[in-house]
Amino acid sequence: MTQPSLGERVRVPWGVDETEGEVVAVYGEGAAQRVVVRLDSKDEGEGAEPETVAVRASDIRAIDQLPGAPSSPSWVESVRYTRQLRKALETVLPRIATGTQITPAGDMPGIGHNDVGIDLTVSRAGRLVLVVEVKATTTVPLDAALDQLHAYLAHAPHGVAGLLVFPGSLKNAPTDKDDSRNPIAVVQWRDARDNQRLSRTLKSLLLPPMGGEAGKRSA
């Protein structure tokens, strides 16, 4: 579809199906453009909060577009992987730091409109502590994803960490210069079987370092 407009009704990926909603924000340019969509509420209870989702512009389609013409064959895998990862974070993080809150980047003021690479954020006591870049396929260039993390963290408050999550092997993961100001870690996560690896990586980012070592880590 053409570039979506604020208030436009669209269809977005939802699990292995689609759901409808309204465009509430558009940011980024070209292939990296993201669209924030407020989903139609499936909970009719009084006071139910509407859910929003940030997706690539190429993954949405107009309400009147024929169902047989999906925008991209990769969106099902990407959405499913990101949702599974978020559930894993919701399981692992409370064991590391209490009071953490996970938010899609498009819902986080000051991030969604300024950075096209961040997918999830983690806050604690109202303070941003971690930004997460999710790559759902094994074919993406990790060096480019790390560049995106560095570009955001260069303007982030001191101490905000970056995490790149990827399902493929990290045997040939790119190396990077240490960054003691805003540490970055890369972790392989395929499913819940990798939760322990995810937990170790999060501890290295969020807990006070024992020896003062920071920078890019891989697990």
pLDDT in tens, 108-151: 444 443 444 688 999 998 899 999 988 877 666 778 778 878 88
pLDDT reported for residue 149: 84
pLDDT reported for residue 209: 53
Average pLDDT value for residue range 66-73: 46
Residue 92 CB: number of other CB atoms within 10 A? 19
What are the C-alpha distances in Å from 77 to residues 123, 161, 206? 26, 26, 28
Name the one residue in this structure whose structure tokens are 């053409």.
Answer: 2
pLDDT reported for residue 78: 73
Residue 150 CB: number of other CB atoms within 10 A? 17
Model confidence at 74: pLDDT above 60: no
3-state secondary structure of 188: strand
Name the one residue in this structure whose structure tokens are 């939802």.
Answer: 14
Question: What is the Cα–Cα distance from 15 to 196, expressed in whole angstroms?
Answer: 25
Question: What is the Cα–Cα distance from 171 to 78, expressed in whole angstroms?
Answer: 22
Sheet holding 184-188, edge to edge: 100-104, 120-124, 127-134, 161-166, 184-188, 216-218
pLDDT reported for residue 47: 57
Kind and range of the H or E element at 36? strand 34-39
Model confidence at 212: pLDDT above 60: no
- 94-106 per-position pLDDT tens digit: 999 889 999 887 6
Residue 36 buriedness (CB in 10 A; 0-12 / 13-18 / 19+): buried
Whether residue 141 contacts residue 109, with contact meaning beta carbons closer than 8 Å, is answered with no
pLDDT reported for residue 110: 47
Output the six-digit token pair for 179: 């960054």
HSE-CB for 186 with a 13 A CA cutoff:
25
Whether residue 63 contacts residue 9, with contact meaning beta carbons closer than 8 Å, is answered with yes
Give the ranges where the chain is alpha helix by DSSP (H).
Answer: 75-92, 142-153, 195-206
